[in-house]
């Protein structure tokens, strides 16, 4: 990695961030895939392994990451009977690719696997990573099974980094729902062993298709969900017109509902698809624009986002 310090972060913090990030034990090992990588886009893993030494990153981009790691470290110091804390697991697939992961907390008394997340209140409240977290925890449960550990319950323990004690009081007085403290937990659905294994096989098959000799143009683009694609509004408009006939706002990140409302409006008004269309307003790939460190090597970013 090529590091920059555009915001003049203290030297000691920069050194800690750099050691933390570059100490990632996956490095450039094509034979390993972490649980997070397994559930994520194969393109991101490919770009990390192929160009990890060439990407330019700023220390400021990793401040939240070290906060999360600090929380994990503090929680790992607590020793409890019949509880396994921060245990590293590794299982080699028949095809030669090893799945690695570190389970945060396994309560052997309750057959429960718990995962700690340091996240924003908005992300947690809107369930923006609900499916990703469910997949991750179920893969962890499968890994535990390979080590002879039975898991019957999955739980996310979330620390809400942007929680406001003032808002907790004022929002409640207004009748709005707001967490009283900067912590929330939620149960995650446990898949059947067959569902867990099938998911892992499907994801491994995708990642195994692309190795260090692959052409980046052949690696599939991240999905809209993996790009954190957002849409503010769907607009029904006559083709060639400047102004829309009716707009449908996306509420609570429910794009499907807004789109169905727009389609229903067209059907109700008898609008023909060859004369009218539904356009997206405020569409943006949030991860590509603001949170991905591999954009300078990504074909999708160069072609669609940057332009």
Note the pLDDT of residue 215. 87
In which residue ranges of the chain is CATH 3.90.320.10 found?
2-215
3-state secondary structure of 246: strand
Q: Which residues of 170-199 are buried (b: 16+ CB within 10 A; e: fewer)?
A: eeeeeeeeebeebebeeebebbeeeebeeb
Separation CA 209–CA 206 (nearest Å): 6
For domain 2-215, the CATH architecture is: Alpha-Beta Complex (3.90)
Per-residue pLDDT of the chain (307 residues; tens, 9 = 90+): 899 999 999 999 999 999 888 876 556 788 899 999 999 999 999 999 999 889 999 999 999 888 888 888 898 898 899 999 999 999 987 677 899 999 999 999 999 999 999 999 888 887 778 889 999 999 999 999 999 999 999 999 999 999 999 999 998 888 888 899 999 999 999 999 999 999 999 999 998 888 878 888 889 999 988 998 888 788 899 988 888 898 888 876 678 888 898 999 988 889 988 899 998 887 788 899 898 999 999 999 988 876 6
Separation CA 160–CA 175 (nearest Å): 21
């Amino acid at each position: 990695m090529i590091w920059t310090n555009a915001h003049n972060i203290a030297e000691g913090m920069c050194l800690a961030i750099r050691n933390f990030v570059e100490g990632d034990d996956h490095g450039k090992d094509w034979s390993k895939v972490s649980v997070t990588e397994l559930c994520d886009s194969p393109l991101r893993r490919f770009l990390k392994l192929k160009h990890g030494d060439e990407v330019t990153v700023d220390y400021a981009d990793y401040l939240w990451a070290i906060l999360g790691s600090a929380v994990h470290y503090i929680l790992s110091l607590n020793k409890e009977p019949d509880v396994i804390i921060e245990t590293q697991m590794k299982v080699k697939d028949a095809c030669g690719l090893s799945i690695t992961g570190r389970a945060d907390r396994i309560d052997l008394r309750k057959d429960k696997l718990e995962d700690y997340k340091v996240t924003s209140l908005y992300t947690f409240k809107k369930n923006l990573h609900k499916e990703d977290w469910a997949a991750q925890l179920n893969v962890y449960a499968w890994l535990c099974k390979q080590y002879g550990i039975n898991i019957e319950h999955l739980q996310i323990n979330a620390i809400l980094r942007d929680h406001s004690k003032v808002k907790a009081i004022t929002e409640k007085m207004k009748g709005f729902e707001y967490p009283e403290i900067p912590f929330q937990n939620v149960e995650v659905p446990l898949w059947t062993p067959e569902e867990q294994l099938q998911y892992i096989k499907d994801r491994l098959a995708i990642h195994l298709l692309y190795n260090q000799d692959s052409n980046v143009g052949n690696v599939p683009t991240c999905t809209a969900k993996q790009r954190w694609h957002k849409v503010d509004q769907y607009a029904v408009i006559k083709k060639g017109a400047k102004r829309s006939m009716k707009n449908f706002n996306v509420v609570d990140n429910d794009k499907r509902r807004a789109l169905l409302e727009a389609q229903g409006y067209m059907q109700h008004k008898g609008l023909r698809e060859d004369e009218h269309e539904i356009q997206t307003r405020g569409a943006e790939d949030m991860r590509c624009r603001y949170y991905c460190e591999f954009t300078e090597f990504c074909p999708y970013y160069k072609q669609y986002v940057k332009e």
